[in-house]
Amino acid sequence: MRQIRIVLTGFGTVGREFIRLIKEKSERIKENYNLELRLVAVGGRDGFIGSEEGLRLDSLSEARPGSQSLADYARNFHMPLTTRYGKADVLVEAAPTDVERGEPGFTHIMTAFRNRMDVIAISKGALVARYDTVFEAAKANKVRVKYSGATAAALPTKDIGEISLAGSEIVGIEGILNGTTNYILTRMQEDGLSFEEALLTAQQKGIAETNPDLDVKGIDSACKILLLSNDLLGTHYSLKDLSIQGIDQVTKEQIAGAKGRGMKYKLLARAHKQEGNVHISIAPMEIGPGHLLAAVDDTNKGIVFQTDTMGEVCVLGGSSSPRGAAAAALKDLINLYRDH
């Protein structure tokens, strides 16, 4: 039985779901993959709690997300909040995303590299802001980085591009990569709502954040297609190299007009090779019933890879939720350390 010592940074809803999944799936993971997962530290805004014997998953699973719960845990179990953690095998980075500076994730990741730890990134910020720096440092320290959860959560975008399409040249990627915007457009399409009305519905259901700008302005979709392009198409782009348009200017009249023509509006993230260059755009577009992504409604997502030898390959679905993102990180963890 191989023991994997895990450090988690970020105790938000995704971080807590990751802990819940470790607790729920631990026996199955032992049986199927010969791995014993031990959570040895969790870090938040005010510091880390840690234990070489492993933290109490039952207590953390039931705690409210947020740094205060880590302080409460430290007090209840008579341990200090520290500025660093002990020795571990892997960092799971789930701190809040800052796509401009990449912090605090970038600092967490670079610290893990110096400690010769592998990294699984759920948060997109560090990779979007400092992609080349992160991977140069990983190579220099001879460690590995996985980030399925940052490229559309539970939808297996990166895995398909890297593994299932090995040997083919990917010449284009087109995806509906944000469940919140897709839900808003679906409600506008099916219920005749304005953007403002559909957004309010999404917020009331907990699908959209109180501040929805990252989603509705297209930034989240841009981050995901950027990471996929840098990884699968060999680009070295940042957000400033992309054409980004969100859905906040889409009107109910535009939606109604498209519906009358048998079309749907979708926020499409697209990366296409053309004459030796890769062009990336994010924009709401009309698509018809023959499009492979036309049936992707509500909070579902989907992606199409265009290849030179395998034709078009499409995958749909994947939970748009904290649990889905946490499950992607757990998948990365298993695939890093399983016996192949």
Which residues line the annotated binding site for L-homoserine? 209
Rounded Cα distance between 305 and 314, Å, is 6
Handedness of CA 310, 316, 322, 326 (dihedral sign): negative
**How far is Cα 121 from Cα 140, in angstroms, rounded to an integer?**
18
Contact 148, 327 (CB under 8 A): no
**DSSP-derived secondary structure letter, 97:** P
Question: Which residues are part of a known binding site for NADPH?
Answer: 124
Give the full edge-to-edge strand order of the sheet including 145-146. 47-50, 35-44, 2-9, 90-93, 118-121, 145-146
Q: Sign of torsion, CA 280 315 123 115?
A: negative
Cβ partners under 8 Å of residue 321, min gap 6 = 153, 154
Question: How far is the CA of 37 from the CAs of 27, 59, 233, 330, in angstroms?
Answer: 10, 17, 34, 10
Q: Residues comprising the binding site? A: 10-15, 124, 209
Helices 252-260 and 179-191 pack at an angle, to 10 degrees, of 70
Binding-site members for NADP(+) are 10-15
| 25 given a catalytic annotation | no
CA distance 147 to 141: 18
Q: Residue 96 carries which DSSP code? A: P
Identity of the residue numbered 72: D
Write down the catalytic residue from 146, 158, 217, 224: 224
Burial class (CB in 10 A: 0-12, 13-18, 19+), 205: exposed
Distances (CA, A) of 148 to 53, 115, 253: 28, 22, 37
- Please identify every residue annotated as catalytic: 224
